[in-house]
Amino acid sequence: MVTTLEAARTVLTAPEDFVLPYDVSRQPVRRHGREAKDTPPLAPEAVAVGAAVFAEELAHTAVPVESTEIDTLVLLRDPVARSTTAAMLPALGIADRDRIAGLVLAWVDSLGPVISAARPPRRWSAHRRAEHSARRRLIGALQEVGSAEAPALATALAAGVQVPIASGAWCLTQLAARPDLHRLIREDPELAVPFVWEVLRLFPPTWVLPRIAVADSVLQGTEVPAYTPVLVSPLALGLLPRLVPGPDAGSSPLGELDPLRWIGTDRRPGAWLPFGAGPHACPGRNLGLAQLARLVEWSADLALHVDHPPTVNADRGLSPRPSLVRAHRRRHAG
């Protein structure tokens, strides 16, 4: 595992030297000879469309005045999927958008057993057949609505849905576990974005980025033979004092979630590469940030609590376990 930002950037920005071993469905990537293409972030107009749809979907989410139990991973499925689909396919009507979003979620669900299995399932196993069928339906639907790059778009949609759902669940469960922090953000909405960065730092859904060295190389002064697996971990990078203000800068310990560490500092949130880097960086990173910020803003009208702080479920990236919170609408004075 690389442990410096320089080595991480070297690995992630040189796809001809450090290749992806598997695709999203844990199938070996065999087309390393193709020229890698950069994946620029979504245009600001697309982000605005997706963020507006996300806010609208949340506004339609009914949370009663009386306390009720909410599974945060379930709560965010439709808002995130519809928002991401709207951003990537802005010309779609609402019916087609929701249909595509549903197929994206179906494929993401079918990928779960494949990703969490101890070994990649065999080609004709039940899990592999279910995943192949869900992916084929999604690609077919994208082709029907005129997508010229349906397979690549399907992969981008799946990634753009999985990460915000998991990160959003962390946002809500952490706010429920820290009513003092929730109150602080409610009193100062400017802390919503720093809070999101802290969640992405301590609970990055994609917490490890694997690569394979194509040829002999040197990383961090260490010789790395060809065909050696190389791991970049945003989670590990996010605990480096050089990248994150900690006790040496008068802030909280790096293992604590504290959005105040980003106030009045010249260090840049996201330096620990939560969205990757290079040709395979997440193109939906700006949309994901917008979704999470709006989620935190939406939560200001809720009272959230949990009986016990969640632990980490690492079966499919990092997600909270349990993902349940109790919530009710706050009664405003007057």
Span 145-184, pLDDT tens digits? 999 899 989 999 998 999 999 999 999 999 999 999 999 9
Which distant-in-sequence residues (6+ apart) come within 8 Å of 6 by Cβ? none
Closest CA to 20 of 9, 7, 8, 29: 29
Polymer length in residues for the chain: 334
* 200: its two tokens: 């992405």
What domain range is 197 assigned to?
A: 5-21+40-74+161-329
Closest CA to 51 of 84, 96, 73: 84
Q: Does the residue 62 lie in any domain?
A: yes
Q: Does the residue 63 lie in any domain?
A: yes
Backbone angles phi, psi at 157, to 5 degrees: -65, -45
Whole-angstrom distance, CA of residue 188 vs CA of residue 148: 45
- For range 310-323, the mean pLDDT: 91
32 has pLDDT over 50: no
Q: How far is CA 58 from the centre of its chain?
A: 18
- For range 11-17, the mean pLDDT: 93
Which distant-in-sequence residues (6+ apart) come within 8 Å of 277 by Cβ? 8, 9, 12, 13
pLDDT at 333: 39
pLDDT at 34: 46
12 has pLDDT over 90: yes
Q: Does the residue 124 lie in any domain?
A: no
Give pLDDT tens digits for 97-146: 999 999 999 999 999 888 887 777 787 799 999 999 999 999 999 999 99
End-to-end CA gap in the chain: 56
* 80: its two tokens: 């995130």
With contact defined as beta carbons under 8 Å apart, do 22 and 219 qualify? no
pLDDT at 332: 62
* 97: its two tokens: 């958008």
27 has pLDDT over 80: no
Q: Does the residue 126 lie in any domain?
A: no
Which distant-in-sequence residues (6+ apart) come within 8 Å of 136 by Cβ? none
Whole-angstrom distance, CA of residue 334 vs CA of residue 330: 12
Which distant-in-sequence residues (6+ apart) come within 8 Å of 149 by Cβ? none
Q: How confident is the model at residue 30 (pLDDT cuts 50, 70, 90)?
A: low
pLDDT at 35: 46
Q: Does the residue 242 lie in any domain?
A: yes
Whole-angstrom distance, CA of residue 269 vs CA of residue 231: 22
Domain of residue 277, CATH code: 1.10.630.10
Give the chain's domain count: 1
Q: Does the residue 278 lie in any domain?
A: yes
36 has pLDDT over 60: no
Give pLDDT tens digits for 195-248: 999 999 999 988 999 999 999 999 999 999 999 999 999 999 999 999 999 999
Q: Does the residue 227 lie in any domain?
A: yes
pTM for this one? 0.92
Whole-angstrom distance, CA of residue 77 vs CA of residue 58: 11
Q: In what order do the strands lie in the sheet with 68-71?
A: 68-71, 324-329, 302-305
With contact defined as beta carbons under 8 Å apart, do 237 and 243 qualify? yes
290 has pLDDT over 90: yes
pLDDT at 117: 78
pLDDT at 138: 98
Percent of the chain with pLDDT over 70: 95
Q: Does the residue 150 lie in any domain?
A: no
Whole-angstrom distance, CA of residue 179 vs CA of residue 102: 34
Q: How confident is the model at residue 25 (pLDDT cuts 50, 70, 90)?
A: low
H or E element, residue 161: helix 150-177
- For range 266-279, the mean pLDDT: 90
